[in-house]
Amino acid sequence: MSTPADRATPDRTGPDRTGLGPERAEPAAAPPASAPAPRRAADGYRPGRTLPLRVELIRQLKRRRTLVMGAVLVALPFVLLLAFRLGGGPRGNPDRVSLMDTATVSGANFAAVNLFAAAGFLLVVPVALFCGDTVASEANWSSLRYLLAAPVPRARLLWSKLVVALGLSAAAIALLPLTALAVGTAAYGWGPLRLPTGGALAADTAVARLALAAAYVFVSQLVTAALAFWLSTRTDAPLGAVGGAVGLTIIGNVLDEVTALGDWRELLPAHWQYAWLDALAPRLETAGMLQGASLSLSCALVLTALAFRGFARKDVVS
């Protein structure tokens, strides 16, 4: 039986005093912060299907500068035909026959003369125009940022515009000899290609050689195309990109005439721009065309890579 004193004495043998009771629960650790969910493209969005080539091609074909350039290239054979009619035919050195002296022999000769007359400068203009105006014009119209916000990936935008620009350039280079062949055949008849060095190429062989020559002219102009395209990604002024490419091409042509440079001229793309004349020889020679094509392609690849790299980092505000 407990006394009042026992009841007043606290119990020191309970579980709370012996340390045998349940341990206090530690506060639960906060769950780790979940990583942000990866961004997922909207349903139906395919970056590779933005700005289709067909859409870009239709846009460029409807532009006035495309129609004007096509009209100029079609008009050149008629201008030369009229010049030969009014002047009574080519008048060269009787002791030395040049390609120009054979212009009125056949339609194939007339086409070759047109290609020779235009390859140095006239065909540079459409290539520089189509490739230099393509991106800079969008920036000049303040529509470039809206294209990128569509959203069109930057690489896809450049790829679509470059492919269409090169396609239009190839069409422009092919349009001139095709028109000249048709006009020349109507005026001077269908016949073999008379060579300035003597001999002739059969008509079918001549057409194949002219096609090879036109293809080489296009490849040789790739450096101009890439230069214009790179400038187009660096400026908002289309005229600056086009004019810069044409101007630098002219400078290259001038430097190629400086004989004091010696073998250094072989490093200029302009040095090989007339290598396609080897395709009109009795025996096809391709060494010069291969050197010129290699140089042009190398320069074009470097300039195109610079265009894509610079545009990927560019702060587009226009």
The tokens of 7 are what? 């009841």
| Domain assignment present for 29 | no
Sign of the Cα pseudo-torsion (196, 201, 203, 208, in order): negative
Provide the domain count of the chain.
1
Let me know if residue 223 belongs to a domain.
yes
Q: Find the domain containing 77 and state its range.
A: 50-312
The structure tokens 């001038």 sit at: 254
Structure-token pair, residue 218: 């296009």
In this structure, is residue 121 part of a structural domain? yes
pLDDT of amino acid 155: 84
Predicted local distance difference test score (pLDDT) of residue 313:
81
What residue ranges of the chain have pLDDT lower than 50?
A: 1, 15, 17-20, 37, 41-45
**Residue 226: closest CA among 251, 257, 248, 250:** 248
| pLDDT value for 55 | 87
On whether residue 180 sits in a domain, the answer given is: yes
Closest by Cα among 204, 192, 213, 214 to 285? 213
| E strands in 169-251 | 193-194, 200-201
| Residues 41 and 147 sit within 8 Å (Cβ to Cβ) | no
Q: Which amino acid is at 114?
A: N
Residue 19 lies in a domain: no
- Confidence at residue 186, expressed as pLDDT on a 0 to 100 scale: 95
Bond preceding residue 151 cis, omega within 30 of 0: yes
Q: What is the pLDDT of residues 9-55, one digit of tens each?
A: 555 555 454 444 555 555 555 555 555 545 554 444 455 566 678 88
pLDDT at 196: 86
160 belongs to a structural domain = yes
Query: Does residue 1 lie within any of the structural domains?
Result: no
Written as one string, the DSSP assignment of 36-83 is PPPP-PPTT--GGGSS-HHHHHHHHHTSHHHHHHHHHHHHHHHHHHHH
Q: Is residue 38 part of a domain?
A: no
Residue 44's pLDDT is what? 46
Bridge partners of 193?
A: 201
What pLDDT, on a 0 to 100 scale, did the predictor assign at position 27?
A: 54
Helix axes 124-132, 64-87, angle to 10 degrees: 170
The predicted pLDDT at position 32 comes to 56
Rounded Cα distance between 182 and 176, Å, is 10
- Please give the DSSP secondary-structure letter assigned to residue 88: T
